[in-house]
Homo-oligomer: A and B are copies of this chain.
Amino acid sequence: MRIAIDAMGGDNAPDEIISGALESIELLNEHDELILVGPKERIEAQLPSPESHKDIINVVDAPEIIGMDEPPIESLRKKRKSSIAVMAKMAKRHETDAVISAGNTGACVAAFQMRMRNLAGVNRPGIAVVFPTFEGPVTICDVGANIACKPINLYQYGAMARMYSRHLLGIKNPRVGLMSIGQEDAKGNEVVKKARELLKSDSNMNFVGNIEGRDIFKGVCDVAVCEGFVGNVILKLTEGVVDGLFKAIKHELMAEKLRLATKFRPVMKRIYTKYDYNTYGGALLLGVNGTALICHGASRSRTIKNAILASKKYHTEKINEKIIEYLSGTCVRTSDEQAD
């Protein structure tokens, strides 16, 4: 399997990206190839002697860099030789089986969507993120690819995220919840209400109905479906609440007794490790014709290594084929006014 990695993407590029690629080698096999995409000379200067990664790592030149805060569409238009643009083109030409980037999320989503095209039966791709919770991992889709969602998009996010949850996370019959503002049928805006009908009409969906914000952490579902604006707020808010709460705990512990704070540190560390999103490597752009992983901007080598392994599993498990098969067999169809 060929996996292209954006060597210049993220706050810690290229060092942590290259380290992550190197760390993953021992878990790959002879048929795998890692393609580091970025300024060729710079990357090659950072790689250890070719013998150590022979036949596994190759470099593809992409001299331009899209910054983390650059406007996505504009920068893609201007920087056709950026690592993100080059990777997207490689995916289009089937020169790689997977693309991974911790760079500018907006640019990644735009480039991958545009170049890779959609899977048969999928109207709009969605970004799926796994939330590690006390009750188990919950897959949330979409967290920002599509902020003008139609009911059919939400239905398909349920179908796709379910395949991901089952075949990548090993959950046998994932329960799908629809994010709303109350559990009753009548709650939610028009798009949510119509999406609810579509999800409900599919007896293979294992749809558990509307969920509320708090339910993500209550073990009531394995997949949470929402439109991209809401999902993005959920993703970032959760990060903010956790950080804020740990800050408050630290402050209170320090005020109490320094010794107690010291004792609490390993507990906090263990929680961070257990509920670490880095475990899952990154967010999957579900619905594109290929395997595309978008990692957190703050990704470390461990994240990149896990992203490489996740992309391999996604590809090996043929999740895209399973999505196509599922959507071709469902009775939920796109009517003209629902089509995107």
Contacts and interface: CB of A to CB of B under 8 A. Distances in A.
Interface stretch (A153-161, A249-257, A323-331): A249-257
Contacts of A188: 147, 229
Contacts of A230: 229-230, 233
A217 B238 contact: no
B252 A267 contact: yes
A304 interface: no
Q: How many copies of this chain?
A: 2
Interface string A235-265: 1111111111101110111001000100110
A71 interface: yes
B233 A248 contact: no
Interface string A97-131: 00000000010000000000000000000000000
B217 A243 contact: yes
A213 B243 CA distance: 12
A233 B236 contact: no
Given A147-B188, A230-B233, A240 B215 contact: yes
Contacts of A144: 181
Contacts of A263: 260, 263
Interface in A176-227: 179, 181-182, 184, 186, 188-189, 192, 212-218, 226
A271 interface: yes
Interface in A270-297: 270-271, 274-275
B264 A229 contact: no
A108 to B, nearest CB: 14
A315 B214 CA distance: 33
A235 B213 contact: yes
Given A147-B189, A214-B239, A233-B234, A134 B244 contact: yes
A228 interface: yes
Given A106-B182, A260-B264, A214 B229 contact: no
A148 B229 CA distance: 14
Contact of A241 (B147, B192, B241): B241
Given A188-B229, A233-B230, A241 B243 contact: no
A51 interface: no
A16 B204 CA distance: 45
Contacts of A236: 181, 212-215
A237 B264 contact: no
A214 B237 contact: yes
15 contacts: A71-B186, A133-B244, A144-B181, A181-B229, A212-B236, A213-B240, A214-B236, A214-B237, A214-B243, A230-B233, A237-B241, A245-B245, A248-B274, A248-B275, A249-B271
